[in-house]
Amino acid sequence: MRYALAETAPMGDASAAAAAPYDEMIDPAGDVRPHYAALARRVASLSDEDLAERQRLLERFFLLQGITFTVYGAESSTERIIPTDLLPRIIPAAEWATIEAGLVQRLRALNMFLADIYSDQKILMDGVVPRELVLGAPSYRREMQNLFVPHQAYANVCGSDLIRKPDGGFAVLEDNLRVPSGVSYMLANREAAKRTFPGSFRMAGVRRIEQYPDLLLSTLRSMAADWRPNPQVVVLTPGVYNSAYFEHAYLARLMGVPLVEGRDLVTHDNMVYMRTTTGLRRVDVIYRRVDDDFIDPLTFRRDSSLGVAGLFNAYRGGNVVICNAPGTGVADDKAVYAYVPEIISYYLGEDAILPNIETFLCREPSQLSHVLANLDKLVVKAVGASGGYGMLVGPHASRAERERFAEALTADPDNYIAQPTIQLSTAPCLIDGAVDPRHVDLRPFILSGDKIRVTPGALTRVALKKGSLVVNSSQGGGSKDTWVLGEAEAAEPRS
């Protein structure tokens, strides 16, 4: 197998050139890292045709399962699979232990933060986080004030985006506490990897992730009122045209609960029911995959036809639970993000295990001038946007693009943050028949209900374009399976 490290920092300015990206498989000396050794040997033993054949097998698996999105053309529409890479990304046990502890700590603190700002707002009184930053955020929901949330679990499903810095350490790039998606790809990638590399998979001692749907169901059930003996859980989807519809159906199927659309639900006397063939049936917990804005036209956006009229009142009345709770978005706001280390130490009295990326808030005049002076080295993001939209990658942008952003920044500084351009780590990917490094991130999934649980696996997103740092699927990104290794097996006990 020919595999060369990515060239260092494709940037014009030598002074701005960051350290070379960390490679997941090969150390700077060019040797294969021990946890990749078995896979590297296996891949090296395969001919190009074998690799191509496995890639075809993988793609066929996705096509058959209907893991596709539709590209609407002028006359006909075609179905494409989400680009998926053949070679798994491997994370050793010790590294995962740190990640897991960091994620649990972070979500505990963020849930406490949400419970606080939707009740006494102590953290705002103490001036740890600026009041107007929280209360002025569009994702702050006044309607949630003083509303009881079981276990203080506001974000029942969280998908955080981690990246590995050039020094090898992981850092959190973003918290997703609203309706994070991608977990079905984590599970589907695993199913596919077991078919494409069965031998290596067995040898490696990969930790199981297949229990995720069970854990999700028990998390959702733990949110139901305890006087309801057999709580009815449903998954609420915007419908078949949503790009994540496959995931909604997949999770509903694996949990064995109904997949409902807004039109299947009705409210009556502050209770929520679904229309079944034999009449109305009470619903207790709604795992909603619809944004806050659209869940209830009476409370939020009036023009929404995806939600259920009266749902929020039923929620306020304690007759139904909405997961994730509305208003969690205020804790993954890109500006609030900068304060997460302070939030962790405020509530838990601990240092953050997983660090943040250094972040400049353009709302602070001193930081704004720094950002404007260094636009060619920074990544600028709009606070409200997601999915890789409304973003400027300074080193890769043209002068005109930078000038446009500079104007926007000066006009509305509150709306922007900036971060240094981080060289995401690279992992080997099969590109046009050859093994080549591409930048990757890591999205693990954390569940919180009566307790917080991290599934030992993740979605590794890949920037398929050479040198690109943007991994979002809407911007030409793909994904690959992620193997979290178990502790090295203890020696066989002698009988």
Partner 1 sequence: MMLARVADSLYWIGRYVERAEHMCRLADVLLNATLDRTESSGQVARMVISAVSDAEHPEEISPWDAALAITMESGDSDSVTAALARARENARQVRDQITTETWERLNLIYLRVTGAAAHREFSDAPSQFLHDIIADLHLFKGAADATMSHGEGWGFLQLGVFIERAQLTGRLLQAGFGRSLGRPVTEHAAMTALLRMSCALEPYLRKHTADIQPRLIRQFLMFDEDFPRSLRFATARIEDHLSGVGRNVDLGGAAGPERLAGRLKARLLYAEAETLTGEDSDLLVATVLEECARLHAGIYDTFVAYSLEMRLPA
Binding piece for partner 1, criterion CB under 8 A, among 151-159, 276-284, 341-349, 445-453: 276-284
Q: How far is the CB of 51 from partner 1 (least distance, A)?
A: 24
Q: Does 274 bind partner 1 (CB under 8 A)?
A: yes
**Which one of 157, 252, 418, 464 is in contact with partner 1 (CB under 8 A)?**
252
**Which one of 41, 195, 263, 451 is in contact with partner 1 (CB under 8 A)?**
263
Q: Does 275 bind partner 1 (CB under 8 A)?
A: yes
Q: Does 243 bind partner 1 (CB under 8 A)?
A: no
**Which one of 119, 151, 244, 245 is in contact with partner 1 (CB under 8 A)?**
245
Q: How far is the CB of 201 from partner 1 (least distance, A)?
A: 21
- Phi/psi of residue 282, each to 5°? -65, 140
Q: Does 73 bind partner 1 (CB under 8 A)?
A: no
**Which one of 83, 258, 420, 486 is in contact with partner 1 (CB under 8 A)?**
258
Binding piece for partner 1, criterion CB under 8 A, among 145-153, 211-219, 279-287, 332-340: 279-287
Q: How far is the CB of 288 from partner 1 (least distance, A)?
A: 16
Q: How far is the CB of 275 from partner 1 (least distance, A)?
A: 4
Task: Decide: 361 and 352 in contact? Cβ < 8 Å.
Answer: no
Q: Does 277 bind partner 1 (CB under 8 A)?
A: yes
Q: Does 309 bind partner 1 (CB under 8 A)?
A: no
Q: Does 276 bind partner 1 (CB under 8 A)?
A: yes
63 vs 97 by CB, closer to partner 1? 63
Q: How far is the CB of 213 from partner 1 (least distance, A)?
A: 12
Q: Does 57 bind partner 1 (CB under 8 A)?
A: no
**Which one of 66, 138, 168, 433 is in contact with partner 1 (CB under 8 A)?**
66
**Which one of 179, 186, 220, 259 is in contact with partner 1 (CB under 8 A)?**
259
What is the x/- site pattern for partner 1, positions 74-113, by CB under 8 A? Answer: --x--x----------------------------------
**Which one of 5, 38, 46, 280 is in contact with partner 1 (CB under 8 A)?**
280
Q: Does 230 bind partner 1 (CB under 8 A)?
A: no
What are the residues binding partner 1 (CB under 8 A)?
63-66, 76, 79, 240, 245-246, 249-250, 252-253, 258-261, 263-264, 266, 268, 273-282
